[in-house]
A and B are shown apart, each in its own frame.
Chain A
Amino acid sequence: MNAFKAIPDTGSQAEQQAWAELNLQAERLKPLHIAELFRADSQRFSGFSVSHGPLLLDFSKQRLDSLALDKLFALADACDLKGWTEKLFSTQAVNNTEDRAAMHWALRTPVDDVQYESCRDVLEGVQEQLDKMADMVDKIHSGQWRGMTGEPITDVVNIGVGGSDLGPLMVSRALNDFTLKRSRSLGIHFASSMDGSQMAQLLKQLRPQNTLFIVSSKSFSTVDTLYNANTALAWLERSLGKCAGLLHCHFIGVSSKPDKMSEWGIHRENQLQIWDWVGGRYSLWSCIGLPIALRIGMKGFRRLLAGAHLMDNHFRNAPWQSNIPVLMALIGVWNTNCLGINAQAILPYDGRLEKLPAYLEQLEMESNGKSVNRDGELVQLHTCPVLWGEVGPNAQHAFYQLLHQGTEVVTCDFIAPALRYHEPTHSEDSLELVRQHELALANCLAQSRLLALGEAALEGEGELPHYKRYRGNQPSSTLLMKELSPFSLGAMLAAYEHKVFAQAVIWGINPFDQWGVEMGKKIATETLGVIRKEEQPEFPLDSSTLGLIDFINAQ
C-alpha cells in the first residue's frame, strides 16, 4: 500500500523543498473562507484569471492566493515541467513503460511549422492520412460512396470503444450546429458497448444497403469492437449475401495495425492509419475523428485542429502565470495534495457538451489514475481525483444538493460559451433560444458564486434555519469560451490534455499508459469459457464468482 505523505521523501531536494513550502501555505490558507479572500482583494478577478485565444479561465474562486501560487510555480520548476514539456513536443519516448513517444500534438501541427522542422516526415505522414480521410468524407457527402447494391450510403456507424468512441462521439455531438448542409441527412451513429446494446438498436432501424461501418481500434484487437464489427458483418451478409465486394463497400478501418485490418477483411483502400505514438484517449485529432469530419466537414475538422494547435503553442511557450493548462494543473495539484480534495465535478452549462464529462473522465482518470511513479516506486502523494459530471442545469436537480450541503469537499469546473444561437441557422427561433442561453449562463454564475461564498452571497437574508444554510467554500474554476465552435472546442480539449500531462509531471507518473485495464480483459476471456461451459478455470474460482455463474447458468 502507498504510504501517503504531505512532503514526499522521494524526488530531488528542490522538489521536497517546494512541497514543504507549499504545505506551509496550505496550513495558512486552510482556515480561510473564499468569501474572506474576496473581501481582502476587491480586484481578485483580475489577478486570478487569464485568457488566451477564445478561452477565459477564472480561478479566483479557488482557495489560494498569490503567495501560494508562487510556491506552485516553484514546484513546477522543481519538477522540471519546462524540460518535460520540451520532451513531450519531441519524438522522445515520454511513455516509458511502452517505450513510445506521445505525439498527439503532431496530429494538429501544420507541416510547415518551423518549430518542428526535425519531424517533418511525421507531419507529412499525418497530412497524407488526413488527405485520404478527406477524400472519403467527400465521397460520402456527395452521395457517391456506394453500398453493395449501388445505393448511396445514408448512415454511418462508428464502432469503437474508449478513445475510439468517446472523443468522436463527444465532439460530433458538441458541434452539431456546425453540421454541413450537404451532410445534414447523413445519419452518424455510435456503437461501443460490448454487450451489443447500441448495435441491437441500430440494426433494427438501419438498412444494410445504405449503411457504412467504421471499425475504429488502435490495436485492432479490442474485443468489444471486434464483436460489434462481427455482428455488423453478419447482419450485412444476411441481407446482401456473402461476397467479395461487401467489405469494400461497407467497412472502413482506422488503426495503427494495417496487417490486422487486412486480416479482418478491411480493403486496403479503406484503411486509415494512426501510429503507436497516438494514445487512444488523445486520438480524436487523427483519422479516429472521421465521424467528426463527417458531421462538420473537413474544413471544420481542420478548424478543430487549429484550435488545438493554438493551445499547443500556448502551453509550450507561455510563462506559468498566464499558461492556462499549467494553471489548471497546478490548481488541481493544490486541491488534491494541499487541501485534500479528492473529487472533481465537470459541469458544462451547454447541453451540446453533454458527453464532455464522460470524455474528461477517461482523459484524466485513465491518464493519471496511477500509483507507481516513473521509477517504479509507489507514489507518496495522491494523484488523480475522482471525476464525474453532468450538464450543469440538469445536475442542479440531481447532485448539487451534495455540493451545497453534503459533507464532501468537491472542486468544480464550470464550462460555458458566452454566445450562443447567434449563428444564421438559428435565426428563426433565436430570440427565445438566446433567452434560454442567458438563463443557463445566469445559473452557471449563480451556482459557482453560491458554492464559493455560501450564504454570504446573499446579504440581508437574515438568520436562516440550519437546514437552509449554505456553508460555501467549495472551490471552482470557470472556463468560458467566446462561443462553442470547432476552433474553441479544439483549444479547450487541448488545454485539458496538457493539464493532465503537467499534473503527471508533478506527480512523477506516466500519463500515457493504462496497464490497469489489461488484466481484467485476460480474466474475462477465461471466465467466458466457464460461463459457456467450454473450459475449466486454470485455478479454482472464488466462491462469489462461482455463485454468480451458477445463478446465470440456472436461468
Chain B
Amino acid sequence: MQIDLYGDTLPALVTAACMAATGHDVVLRMPQGRIRQQVIANKVAYSEPGLRRLISNEHTEGRLVYGDFDGLPGADSRAVFLALDTDEAPQANVIVERLAAVDGRRWLVVNQSPFAVGSTEELDKSLKSGIAHSQSAAVALPDFLQEGTALAGMQRPPQIILGCNDGYAELLVKEIFRPFNRDSDHFLVMTPREAEFTKLAITGMLVTRISFMNDMANLADSLGIDVENVRQGVAADPRIGPTYLYPGVGFGGPGFSTNVINLVDTLDATGVGSTLLNQVIEINERQKEYLFRKLWQHYRTDLKGRTVAIWGAAFKPDTGRIDNAPIIRMLDALWAQGAKVRVHDPEALPALLERYGHHPGLHYASHPYAAAEGADALIVLTQWRAYWSPDLDRLAAIMRQKVLLDGRNIYDPSYVREHGFTYYGVGR
C-alpha cells in the first residue's frame, strides 16, 4: 500500500521504517532540520538500536523514500500518517486543511501525535469541512513506543489502541497493521477521544507509580530504612508487579513528562483538574534535586568552588536525549551555588553541548574517569550499563573527596563504603 508519513519524531521514523519493512511503499515527509539532514545522510538521528540500519535498508530497497514536508501525497496514496511533536498541532492543522482542499479525494488520516485530548476529532472535522457527504476520516492511533526498544515495540505490540468512528477507516488501518497483528488480535477500538485519553491515562499511571515509590523513598530516608528491600517486597506482590517501581532522581524524557503535563493541561482546560497528577509532577520535580540536597547537606550548605562529577545526562540509558532530564535541574542548582561540573555520558553530550554550549561551569568529559578527576563528589544520574561496575580504587585515587551519590540505587552501599566512600542512595 502507498502511505505518506509526516513528521521527524522517533515514532515517525520507527513507523515509517517498520511499515516499509513489511512491503508498504512509504513516503517519509520530514520538516527541514537536523533530523532530516541526518536521516538523508544515512547518519544516526536518534540513538535507537537498529533504527538507522533499518531505515538505510528500506531506503536502499526503494520502499522508503523521502518527500517534502510541504508536499501533498501522490494520487495513489491510501493513508496519511501524522507523527508530530506535542507542540506541532498547528502544522497538523495546515496539512489537513491542504488535504481537504484537494477535490474528490477520500483521505484516511492516522494521527499518532501526542496532542491534547480531542485533537483528532478536530482534525476529522477540518478534513470534512466544506465537503458534502465527505467520506474522509481522521483516526487516532496513539504510540506506545519505549525508547531503546522502539522497533520491537512496533513489530510485536502488546496492544494497538485505535480511536475510530468509521468502518472503512478501521478496515484500512487493520490492513496496514496486519503484519504486526498476526498471532492474535491486538486491536482495541474505541472513539478517538477515548484512545487519546487512554494513552494519557497509561502514562499517568506509570509516572504515578514512580512518584509513589519516590515518596516512599523519602519516608524511608527519615526512618532509617533501605527502600530497595521495600521495593523488592512490594514488587513480589502479583497484584502490583515489578515494573515502574524503581525509586530514583525523577523521570524525564520527551514522551514522559510532556505527556503528563499535557494531561494536566487537558484536565485544567476543562476546569476539572487532577490533584493527584499535579502532586505526581511536583514530587517528580522535587526528586530531581534529591541528590543536590544530599550534597548540599554533606558539604554543610557551602558548595562554592567545589567540583562535581556527573555520570549520565540522558533521561534514561540507550538514548542521547536530555529532554526534562534530571541533569538540567542539577546543573542549574550546582551552578547557582558556585560549583563546577564535569559530565560524562556515552551518547548525550552532543545534546548537552547544544543546550549549554561552552559554559565556564561545565566540562564535557570524554571518559567516565576523566569526569571524576579531582572531583569532590560523583553523582550517577543515568544507569548506563558501563557505570554499573566502576573501578572504585581508581575513583578513590583520582577524586579529591570520596563521595558517591547513586541516583539509581545501582550500587551495593556496603561495598562502596568499604572502599572508603561516603555513599548516598535514594531512600537508603
Contact = CB atoms under 8 A, between A and B. Distances in A.
A421 to B, nearest CB: 22
Interface in A259-307: none
A143 to B, nearest CB: 8
Contacts of A146: 296, 301, 333, 337
A244 interface: yes
Contacts of A249: 301
B156 to A, nearest CB: 43
Interface residues of A, number: 14
Contacts of A151: 286, 289, 293
A149 B294 CA distance: 8
Interface string B332-363: 11001100000000000000000000000000
B221 to A, nearest CB: 11
Contacts of B301: 146, 148, 150, 245, 248-249
Interface in B292-311: 292-297, 300-302
B336 A142 contact: yes
B336 A150 contact: no
Contacts of B332: 142, 144
A30 interface: no
Given A144-B332, A144-B333, A150 B297 contact: yes
Interface string B264-302: 000000000000000000000010010011111100111
A144 B336 contact: yes
Contacts of A248: 301
B284 to A, nearest CB: 15
Contact of B300 (A139, A144, A152, A245): A245
A67 interface: no
Contacts of A464: none
A142 B295 CA distance: 19
A398 interface: no
A152 B289 CA distance: 10
Interface string A130-174: 000000000100101010111110000000000000000000000
B337 A144 contact: yes
Contacts of A139: 336
B300 A150 contact: no
Contacts of A148: 297, 301
A249 B296 CA distance: 11
A151 B286 CA distance: 8
Nearest to B289: A150
Contacts of B289: 150-152
A144 B339 CA distance: 13
Nearest to A249: B301
B343 to A, nearest CB: 19
Nearest to B334: A144
A142 B294 CA distance: 20
Contacts of A150: 289, 292-297, 301
A243 interface: yes
A149 B297 contact: yes
A13 B218 CA distance: 81
Nearest to B335: A144
Contacts of B336: 139, 142, 144
* Most chain A beta-carbon neighbours within 10 Å: one of B289, B294, B301, B337: B301
Contacts of A245: 300-302
* Most chain A beta-carbon neighbours within 10 Å: one of B286, B295, B300: B300
Nearest to B333: A144
A244 B302 CA distance: 11
* Most chain A beta-carbon neighbours within 10 Å: one of B296, B297, B332: B296
Contacts of A244: 300
Interface string B163-185: 00000000000000000000000
A139 B301 CA distance: 15
Interface in A231-245: 243-245
A485 to B, nearest CB: 30
A139 B337 CA distance: 10
Interface string A162-203: 000000000000000000000000000000000000000000
B300 A243 contact: yes
A146 B300 CA distance: 12
Interface string A456-470: 000000000000000
Interface in A110-143: 139, 142
A146 B332 CA distance: 12
Nearest to B329: A143
Contacts of B337: 144, 146
A137 to B, nearest CB: 13
A249 B297 CA distance: 12
Contacts of B333: 144, 146
Contacts of A142: 332, 336
A146 B292 CA distance: 11
B332 to A, nearest CB: 7
A43 B35 CA distance: 73
Interface in B316-340: 332-333, 336-337
A63 to B, nearest CB: 55
* Most chain B beta-carbon neighbours within 10 Å: one of A144, A248, A249: A144
21 contacts: A142-B332, A142-B336, A144-B333, A146-B337, A148-B297, A148-B301, A149-B293, A149-B296, A149-B297, A150-B289, A150-B295, A150-B296, A150-B297, A151-B289, A152-B289, A243-B300, A244-B300, A245-B300, A245-B301, A245-B302, A248-B301
Interface of A: 139, 142, 144, 146, 148-152, 243-245, 248-249
9 residue pairs, one from A and one from B, having the closest CB atoms: A150-B293, A245-B301, A144-B336, A150-B296, A245-B300, A249-B301, A150-B292, A149-B293, A150-B297
